[in-house]
Structures are given as C-alpha cells and as structure tokens.
Chains A and B, each alone.
Chain A
Amino acid sequence: MTTPPTRGPAKALWEAVPAATARKEAPAWGTTPAEALGPLGVPLVDLLDRVLATGVVISGDLVIAIAEVPLVRLSLHALLSSVNERVPAPWTDSGPL
C-alpha cells in the first residue's frame, strides 16, 4: 500500500520533478536541441500544445483566434522547421533503395 504524499496540492509534485528529471524523462527528442528546453525543463512543443490549443477559452477583449490558431500555428511551424533544419534526419523512408 502506497502512502500518497500528504503535502499541499500540486506544489509537492511540481517540486518532486526537478528540471533535470523532466528533461531526462520527456525528451528523447532526437531533433530538439537542448536550448528548446527552458528553465522549467519543459519541451516547447508540449508547452505549445497546451497553452495554445487547450484551456478555457474565456473570450478576451482582443480577438486573437487562439482556438483556431492559424496564425500561431504558422509561426510554430516556422519555429520548429528552423529547429529541425539544424538537425537533418539520419534516414527516411524516402531514402534511396
């Protein structure tokens, strides 16, 4: 029987996973350079999945189409493409026979 931590709510867990662990655990990203992991140790793509695509949409006064995110997806695309250009894929299915 495991005894769940009785400390405060989320805090305990956030602290229990230091950046080093999060880095080791999350990104086996072959294509994400180390600098894409910020001080919080969170891979950028995972972060953008969450801060852009989900969460409660309380319509703000400024209409930045976050639900659709065409604009942001475009820039995300550009951002990640630029990341990947620096690390060419070693082998692909469309490689020579």
Chain B
Amino acid sequence: MTRTEAPTLTYAFAVCRGGDVTAPADPLAEPPGLGGLPGLGTGAPVRTVAAGPLTAVVQDVPAAGFDEEALRSRLSDGAELERCARAHHAVITAASALAPAVPLPLATVYLDDGRVREALGEREASLLAALDRIAGRVEWGVKVYAPTGPRPAPEASPGDGPVSGRAYLNRVRTRQYGREQRHTLALRAAERVDTVVRGLAVAARRLRPHGVEVTGRHRTHVLNAAYLLDLGRERELRAALVSLRRDETDVQIELSGPWAPYSFADGGITDTAAAP
C-alpha cells in the first residue's frame, strides 16, 4: 500500500457471540461472506472486533466521511440515506446468516476499536441476554392498511342536477360518518390480525404507523407490527396470513420478512421512547 493512511473511525454493524463468527482455530468458522462484503463501500473489509465473550462486526470508515458533520449531511440526503441503510442491512443480514446477531442502529460509529470494546464491555450482560433471546428466531413485519377511498353512495350522484344546501350537508355528514365507521372497523380488524400473529410469536412489538406521505392518500396505516418467531414457523405464519386475508376483507394485510431481529434486540436496555 503506497496510500498514506487517512484517519479512520470504526463503524459497527452488529454484535455476535464471540465464538460464533470468529474462531481462529477453525478456518471454516471465519465468515466467508463478511470479508467479501462491500459494507459501506469504503474499500476497507468488513471485519470483526473481539471483546470478551462478544464480537462486533465492524468496518473502518474514513473519518472525513463519517464524522458527525459528514454523517449529518449524509443522512439528510435521501439517496445517500437509502444507500447507507441498504449497506447496513446487507452486513447485518450476512452476519445473521452466520450466527445470532444483535443489529446496531444505522450510523453507530466509534473513534477506534478500543472504544468498540469498551462499549460492548459496558453492555455485556444485556447483549448476551439479547443474543440468547433472538437465537433461532427471526423477525416478521405485519402491516395493516385501511383503504380511504369513499364508497360512493348510490343516492349521492352529483349528476342529478342542482343540489340543495341540505342535501349537500347530508352528504358531507354521511360521508364523514362512513369514514369514521370504516376506520373503526379497520382498527378492529387490525387487532384481530395482531392477536392471531401474536399467538404464533414469542414477542411482539408495535412500530409507529406510517403517515400519509408514505402510504399515499388512498389508504391509512392502522397497524405496523413486528413479531419474533421461532425458525420453522414460517409456514404457519403464511397460512395464518392467507386465512386472515380471506376473513378480513376490509383491510389490506402485508407481510415482510424474515428480518434479522431488529425490533427485539434491545432487551435489558430500558427504551421507554420506543416502547408502545
């Protein structure tokens, strides 16, 4: 390397149990996938940092591109945010395929490997507990939407000539009432969906429903939930979804996954802000 060493920071993606992803004595245990990953595309390999019983999956990133100021502008740029999120996710997915891995949030950056070890050391007990909880399990996402498009009432055809003020107000009231009724029905349907899927899961969590800027104006997001399921229950889950879609005709139900257990990794760290 003739390149002069630019100062670097250590970007952390995920935390695994030590022996799971690094076992120097056993070359097969060294993740074949991780080293070959582009990660954030900095040119440095994705590697591991051992910290007692834990191992962090990390990558060196140039300090100039990932200091606080640079990160701020990076994550404010939609395209760059997406690129970072997908890169982050790709590494976590690869790590999860090798061993239970606690995903870290986007843009978890340390000054150096020593700081990574310290941070892991401080959280050792809760990280080990989280690893126990997610082992052999994956996360699934279920979202329920209520269509907002009005069902045109038969008597409300605007083509019937001039409309009196009272008829107009009646129509507004009827539409408002119908809208509230549909929303209530959709919320109840969402609760039924949640109850069924929760029954298959070992843990469940409500995420924030998306606003209209995400869903579009033609539907309302009434449930955004994540469930932690044992591996091997996918078939049951899919069958349950088929059945729910057949029964709950007033709402749209979407399933995503399997995900690395993003939403179930923070046990032991009281996270009141994120709790439902």
Could you list which residues of chain A lie within 8 angstroms of chain B, going by C-beta atoms? 2, 4-5, 8-17, 22, 25-28, 30-31, 38-40, 42-64, 66-68, 71-72, 74-82, 84, 87, 89-97
Contacts and interface: CB of A to CB of B under 8 A. Distances in A.
A1 B219 CA distance: 39
A55 B266 contact: yes
| Interface secondary structure of B, over-half rule | mixed
Nearest to A52: B106
B207 A49 contact: yes
Contact of A55 (B104, B158, B234, B254): B104
A75 B81 contact: yes
Contacts of A77: 213
B249 interface: no
**B-side interface size class:** 35 or more
| Nearest 10 CB-CB pairings of A with B | A4-B232, A79-B78, A50-B262, A31-B216, A89-B217, A26-B256, A11-B97, A92-B217, A51-B106, A60-B108
Binding site secondary structure of chain A: loop
B42 interface: no
A54 B33 CA distance: 25
Contact of A64 (B68, B210, B230, B233): B68
19 contacts: A9-B231, A14-B97, A40-B93, A54-B205, A54-B207, A56-B102, A56-B269, A60-B12, A60-B109, A61-B9, A62-B107, A62-B109, A66-B106, A67-B273, A72-B76, A76-B81, A84-B216, A97-B171, A97-B172
A48 to B, nearest CB: 6
Contact of B110 (A25, A28, A39, A60): A60
Given A10-B97, A64-B72, A54 B110 contact: no
Interface in B217-276: 217-219, 224, 226, 230-236, 252, 254-260, 262-263, 265-266, 269, 271, 273-274
A79 B115 CA distance: 33
A5 B231 contact: yes
B197 interface: no
Contacts of B85: 44, 47-48, 51-52
A82 B214 CA distance: 10
Interface in B65-86: 66-68, 71-72, 75-79, 81-82, 85-86
Contacts of A84: 213-214, 216
Contacts of A45: 210, 214
A87 to B, nearest CB: 7
Centre residue among A16, A56, A64 by max chain B CB count within 10 A: A56
B254 A40 contact: no
Given A5-B232, A10-B260, A56 B123 contact: yes
